[in-house]
Every structure is written in C-alpha cells, then in structure tokens.
Structure 1
Amino acid sequence: MKKKLSGNNELLQDGRKLSAWGLFWRFPIVWMIAGAIGIILIDTLFRQLTEQAEGIASLISTLVMGCLAILVYKLTLTYLARRSTPEISIHRAGMETVLGVLTGSIFIIGSALIIMALGGYSFQWASSADTSSILIFSITPALSAAIVEELIFRGLMLQAIDKIGGKTLALAVTSLFFGVAHLGNTGATLWSAFAIVLEAGVLLGAAFLWRRNLWFAMGLHFAWNAVEGLLGIPVSGHPSAGLFTVKVHGPALLTGGDFGLEGSIIPIVISLLISIPMLIGTARNRRAEKEMNVHG
C-alpha cells in the first residue's frame, strides 16, 4: 500500500519519498497536458512525412507514428502519473481491436443502410476507382485519427478527469471537448458539433469505460472513419474518394449534409442505443470490483 506523508512529500510503495517536483508532475492535469503535447508533436511531424509519401509508404509512416505515440503515452503514465497502463497492454490487444473494428463497422454500415432505406443516400459502385489507392487513402487517415485521438481524449483526458471528479464528469467533459475539436472541420456547425458530442464522444468514452481498453476504442474509431471513407461519405466534413459514388437526397438532419454521416440524426440514435448498454456494463463492473475488494 502507498502511504501519504504530511507536507509536500508522499511515500511510495518502495518507501521512497516523492518530492514536491514529483508531486507536481503526478497531478492529473499536468501529466495529461504533458502527454498530449508529446503525442501532438509526434503526430505533427509524421503528418508532414505521410503527406509527402505515396502508397504503402504513407501507411508505414502512420504505423511508425502510432507506435511512437503509444510509447509517449506509456512513458507519460509510467514516469509522470506513476501508474501502470493495462489499458494499452499487448495482452488481448488483437482480440480487443477486432471487437472494436466489428462494433464500429456494424455501427456505420447500419446507420448508412437506414439512411439509404429512408431515401437519404443512394450508392453506385465507382467502377473507374483505383481500389488499392482508395484503400490506403481511407485507412491511413483513419488509423492516424484513431490512435492519436483515443490516446489523448480517452487515454489521457478521460482518465485524468476521472482521477479528479469521477467517471461521469470525465465522460461529459471529454465528450464536450471532442465535439468542440471538430468545429473547425469543413461544413461544421453547432449542430454537427453537438452530434459529435453525443454519437462519438459518448460512444467512444463508454466503449473505453466498459472495456477499460484503448485497443477496443481505437478499433471502433478506426472502423468508423475507414468504413465511412470507403463508402464515399464525407468523414466529419472531410471529402472521401470511396469505392462508391454517393448521391444525397433529403434534409441534412437525415443525411448529415456536407458534413457527412456524423451530422445525421440516425447515427446519434444508434450510438446512444449502443452506449447505454456499455455504460450499464461499466456500472456492473464497478460494483463487482467493489464487492471483490470488500471480500478480498
């Protein structure tokens, strides 16, 4: 057990005292900001390299960036927050990622099919499209966004705020910030930002709290963006040269308009239907952990 001392020192498990400087870095908001800055710097550097690269080289560059960003995250939590990082452990990483990809794929495909059934979308195969180029063009930015945004918003911000004010506050704040972060995208409006808060911020936050695993959240986020791009639907305002040509009909409330599927009411409803069971599962897991601690 860790013991606390009076004054500006704290006694760690091995009996060493943590200095005032160490306590400063251990404060949640401090390590959150420090880790986010490190991840953003790596992303910025490799984004320039990726834009200059072509084909498979851009994907490799993104994978290297992702590995370095995860390393920065792990070092931040280990040496500044002074805690372990089971949420990014290699154990079950493959299974959790696959589950996340399946969840995200079903979510986006289901949303698109419902909008299509209601007359909002019509799809036509883009026969002249270069399939390999489109795959890389869709996968690369989706992978980059999934890794960077999940490490920052769910890995750092949500856990830092959780330490200060609990999980409910952490979910609310990270969801709000996630929506605000997308206000600068092409075609963004207050409505689209609000939609992102509910469908993405809440869903991805609930996914992380439920599984306590960043691989699952990353997989869900990646599939969301990649599948949407492959369908030819704008990804949060970013145009997509997908495998299909999409024609949009009807009100923006149904189709999302120029912003894309995220601006539609349909994925908001579906995401909440997915998020609620995840949050119920989170509450059950917490109760089970408390009972184990009491009887342990």
Structure 2
Amino acid sequence: MKNKVSFWLFPIVWMIAGTIGIILIDTLFRQLTERLEGVVPLIFTLVMGILAMLVYKLTLTYLARRSTPEISRRHAGIETVLGVLTGAIFITASAFIIIALGGYSFQWAGSGNTGFVLISTIETALGAAIVEELIFRGLLFQAIDQLGGKALALAVTSLFFGAAHLGNAGATLWSAFAIVLEAGVLLGAAFLWRRNLWFTIGLHFAWNAMEGLLGISVSGHSAAGLFTVKVNGAALLTGGEFGLEGSIVPVVFSLLISIPMLIGTARNQRIDGGNPRHFES
C-alpha cells in the first residue's frame, strides 16, 4: 500500500491522470454537442466545466494529497471578471494598434444570426479556456513547480503551450514562439500573480471570445464573427493565416503586462516570507 501511495503522489503521475480525466470529459461533451444548436451547447459546456473542475479537485485532493485554493469559490466572481476585463482590453488594444498601422480593416458582417454567433463564440471560448487552464496552469504548472520551482514551471508550461498550437492551420515556428511569449508567459504570470485559476480562465476566455467576435482567426481556427476582417501587409504585423496571435503586436503588449505581474509576484513572495504555499488565498 505504501508503494502505491508513493506512486500516485509523484507529480508527473497525478498530472497525467488528471489531464486524461479532463480530456475524456471534454471529448465526451464535444461529441454530445456537435449536433446541437441554440443555447443547449453552451449549457452543456458549463456542465462540462463543472465536471472538469471536479476531476481536477479530486485529482489534487486524493492523488496529490493537497488542497486546491486556486479554485476556491472565495473571490471567484471578482477574479473572473478582472480576468475577462484584462483579456478584453489586451485583445482590443492589440487589434486597434494593428488597425492604426494599416494591418486590419473591419466591416460589420450584417448577418441575421447575431445571437447564434454570440452563443457559439462564447461556448467555444469558454470550453477551451476552462480545459486548457485546468491542464496547463492547474496540473502541469503545479506539477513542474513541485519538481523544480516556479521559474521552471513557467518556462516548461509556456513551451508546451506553444508546441500544442503547432498543428493548427497557418502555424509556423514563429507563431508557436509567439504563443510561448504572449500566451504561455502571460497566463503563467497571471496565475502566479493572482494565485488562482479564475483570473486566468477569465483572461483566456475573453482573449478567444474577443478574437472570435471580431472575426479574426483564433490561433489558426477561422471564426464566423460579427465582423469581417480584411488583412493587409506583412504577416509579422497581422499574424497572417494564424490570426492575431501570430502578430508581433500582442507579443510586445503581453510582455508589457507579464513583467509587472512577475514583479508583483516576487513582491508578494517577499511579503509572505517565502511561504511555499504560494497559491493560498
């Protein structure tokens, strides 16, 4: 019995077990919702999110043998809202800069399916945000943190996050590297700074939802948004077929956000006296 407990306590083991459980739930609900229309897929996605968080909590509670303050309901609402606002401002500002530089021009799509576009965009963005944040910032980050510290965890999760997008349409080595910096580092820094997953889920959700609503490809995935976007100029400015994430603009902008977050994290650690239970809230 002792050997079995030791086996499940090993960070890579509980990380893989939790990841498999979350992916299985996500896959099952994707199959259930692919033929459904209207608000039902969004409701199913919310149910999927609850079950995925339950798997996450059970994994860390019974396999990793640790508490889960990072998904505590305390301040969950305000942290999610702050994350949504951060993500919305980040994407909107990046898009406006590219517009000002002549890279994008937008036109109202004029579709009669505005409600469908809103619901489907929210459903897709929400599902991706919950699943990816639970896996990357929740399981993988904290497993690597336990093995080698937070700096290594930030580096490894950022690299894996970039590599995970290499198979997307229009992806290049540059776009993967851009994802490493603008998404991997930013979301990892946000997790360290806010000490919870609600903020990163909100940020990730707003990021994808704003791109989708603007009609910009989301990491290579085309979006039937409220606008049609005309792309002009070099891919380094516009992101090309990969979308906004392949542009140099959000890369620079994200670093301008991430650095203060990491400075704030270091300051919090000094105030806490180097307490290893960093994610307690």
Tell me, yes or no, whether TM beats 0.5.
Answer: yes
Whether the 8 Å CA contact 1:129–1:243 is kept in 2: the answer is: no
| Structure-2 residue corresponding to 1:32 | 15
TM-score under structure 1 length normalisation: 0.92
Amino acid at match of 2:32: L
Q: Which runs of 4+ in 1 moved over 3 A?
A: none
Deviations 1:35-72 (A, max 9, x none): 00000000011011121211101101111110000000
Q: Choose which of 169, 175, 178 in structure 2 pairs with 1:186.
A: 169
Deviations 1:129-161 (A, max 9, x none): 411000012111100110000000000000000
| Structure-1 residue corresponding to 2:190 | 207
| Structure-1 residue corresponding to 2:279 | none
| Structure-1 residue corresponding to 2:2 | 19
CA RMSD, 1 decimal: 1.1
| Structure-2 residue corresponding to 1:97 | 80
Q: Choose which of 17, 38, 60 in structure 2 pairs with 1:55.
A: 38
| Structure-1 residue corresponding to 2:25 | 42
Alpha-carbon distance between aligned partners in 2 of 1:238 and 1:104, rounded to the nearest angstrom: 18
* Partner SS for 1:172: helix
Q: Which runs of 5+ in 2 are unaligned?
A: 277-281
Deviations 1:149-188 (A, max 9, x none): 0000000000000001000000000000000000111111
Aligned residues: 276
Higher relative CO (Cα under 8 Å, sequence separation at least 6) belongs to 2
Alpha-carbon distance between aligned partners in 1 of 2:49 and 2:43, rounded to the nearest angstrom: 10
| Structure-2 residue corresponding to 1:220 | 203
Is 1:275 aligned to residue 249 of structure 2?
no
Amino acid at match of 2:249: I
Alpha-carbon distance between aligned partners in 1 of 2:49 and 2:263, rounded to the nearest angstrom: 31
| Structure-1 residue corresponding to 2:236 | 253
* Partner SS for 1:290: coil
Which shifted more, 233-242 or 46-55? Answer: 46-55
| Structure-2 residue corresponding to 1:147 | 130
- Which is greater in Rg? 1
Offset at 1:249? 0.4
| Structure-2 residue corresponding to 1:124 | 107
| Structure-2 residue corresponding to 1:284 | 267
TM-score under structure 2 length normalisation: 0.96
Alpha-carbon distance between aligned partners in 1 of 2:266 and 2:128, rounded to the nearest angstrom: 28
Deviations 1:174-205 (A, max 9, x none): 00000000011111111110110000000000
Alpha-carbon distance between aligned partners in 2 of 1:52 and 1:100, rounded to the nearest angstrom: 31
| Structure-1 residue corresponding to 2:91 | 108
Alpha-carbon distance between aligned partners in 2 of 1:148 and 1:292, rounded to the nearest angstrom: 29
Offset at 1:128? 2.5
Is 1:232 aligned to residue 215 of structure 2?
yes
Deviations 1:253-285 (A, max 9, x none): 000001000000000000000000000011111
Alpha-carbon distance between aligned partners in 1 of 2:91 and 2:143, rounded to the nearest angstrom: 30
Amino acid at match of 1:268: V
Distance 1:291 1:133, change over 3 A: closer
Alpha-carbon distance between aligned partners in 2 of 1:19 and 1:278, rounded to the nearest angstrom: 41
Amino acid at match of 1:91: R
| Structure-1 residue corresponding to 2:144 | 161
Distance 1:221 1:292, change over 3 A: closer
Alpha-carbon distance between aligned partners in 2 of 1:58 and 1:292, rounded to the nearest angstrom: 42
- Report % sequence identity: 78
* Partner SS for 2:256: helix
* Partner SS for 2:273: helix
Whether the 8 Å CA contact 2:111–2:226 is kept in 1: the answer is: no
